[in-house]
Copies of this chain bind each other. A is one copy, B any other.
Amino acid sequence: MDERQAIERLRRIATHPAALGLQDDAALIDGLVVTHDSIAEGVHFFPFDPPSSVGWKLVAVNLSDLAGKGAEPVAALLSLALSGDDAWDEGIIDGVAAACESYGLPLVGGDTIAIQRGAPRVFGLTAIGRAGERTPLRSGAKAGDVLWLVGTLGDAAAGLAMLQDDVRSEGPLVDVFRRPVALLRPGQALAPHANAMMDVSDGLLLDALRMARASKLSVTIDVDALPLSSAFVGERGQDRVARLFAATGGDDYALLAALPPDVDPLGLSLPSGTTIARIGSLTANGPELGLTSGGEPIELPEQLGFEHFGQQRHGNPAPPMADRS
């Protein structure tokens, strides 16, 4: 049973409306948005990653799910596995504390367990947010909506590849891999206007396909329009190969929003300096997922993102990390 099969099995149980069909990486309960993501050593982070960055990332990936719903952070519960290595265990607590402080997220509970020394570390966080006036789901996109992306793509995947080449790698791309930023304020600004919204965690193409499927629409993405950082372009260039790498790498924690064509996000109260790009559209007909470049259709890459560990290990051998949704 792989992760997808397990989620199918869980979906049969999770029939309550608050579960949103397990489609949204978050549940809606009494005006609160609730999400839980775990991260495991060897799956989502390296044994040699600094523990404070692991703690930071645990908080940020959960807040990114709240950002995708336009929610405001209210509280977090931490599930902490103590490995017996004091410096490491203190490091991850410090990283969680730093991220909570930075995002104004009160840590209000959780639990602490001691694991066997040498066992892979696993950590979890439950993040609770207050929903805004509207909570866009994945399934709400309408034919004719324009697809916008907040943030840049590929930085974390490029940083991960650098670490796989050389564990001593550093620089801005490694920093993005280790210390992602949750786009809470952009999410809150877009949510009242978005028909659908989600964070991009498993690769843009895979996540866009998920939005299209949930909304029973087709999605077309212009790979020339994908926003790339200067650090990414410096490391990988910006040709089609680089762009497809960025569109499938995952761990981006960008935001993907389907906005009606008459909404100009540049007129919304986005924080200054926000990178936002018009990258495609949603339509009633056509292939589920189409790519264009120079106005012409191009072929889909073999792998759209990282759906689960098994697929990732046996598919594209490059990045060993997956299921960051």
A residues in contact (CB < 8 Å) with B:
1-3, 6-7, 9-10, 13-16, 18-20, 22, 25-27, 29-32, 34-40, 42-44, 74-75, 77-82, 86, 89-90, 93, 96-97, 100, 106-116, 119-120, 122, 124, 126, 128, 130, 308-310, 322-323, 325
Contacts and interface: CB of A to CB of B under 8 A. Distances in A.
Given A34-B126, A40-B113, A43-B115, A108 B19 contact: yes
Contacts of A25: 109, 111
A114 B81 contact: no
A90 B2 CA distance: 11
A107 B13 contact: yes
A128 B34 contact: yes
B34 A109 contact: yes
11 contacts: A1-B90, A3-B82, A10-B112, A19-B106, A19-B108, A20-B109, A29-B108, A35-B77, A35-B109, A43-B116, A111-B325
Given A43-B113, A109-B26, A128-B29, A82 B1 contact: yes
Given A29-B74, A42-B116, A126-B126, A36 B6 contact: no
Q: Which of A25, A40, A310 has its CB near the most chain B CB atoms (within 10 A)? A: A40
Contacts of A35: 77, 109
The 7 tightest CB contacts between A and B, nearest first, are: A16-B106, A114-B309, A27-B108, A19-B108, A27-B109, A36-B77, A126-B126
A62 to B, nearest CB: 10
Given A75-B16, A108-B19, A124-B79, A113 B32 contact: no
Q: Which of A26, A27, A109, A322 has its CB near the most chain B CB atoms (within 10 A)? A: A109
Contact of A18 (B36, B108, B122): B108
Contact of A38 (B3, B74, B124): B124
A319 to B, nearest CB: 15
Nearest to A322: B114
Q: Which of A2, A75, A78 has its CB near the most chain B CB atoms (within 10 A)? A: A75
Contact of A323 (B113, B120, B323): B113
A17 to B, nearest CB: 9
B89 A6 contact: yes
A106 B14 contact: yes
A311 B20 CA distance: 43
Nearest to A325: B111
Given A3-B113, A29-B75, A119-B120, 12 more contacts: A6-B93, A10-B110, A34-B75, A34-B108, A34-B126, A38-B79, A38-B113, A38-B124, A40-B113, A111-B325, A114-B310, A116-B120
A30 B106 CA distance: 14
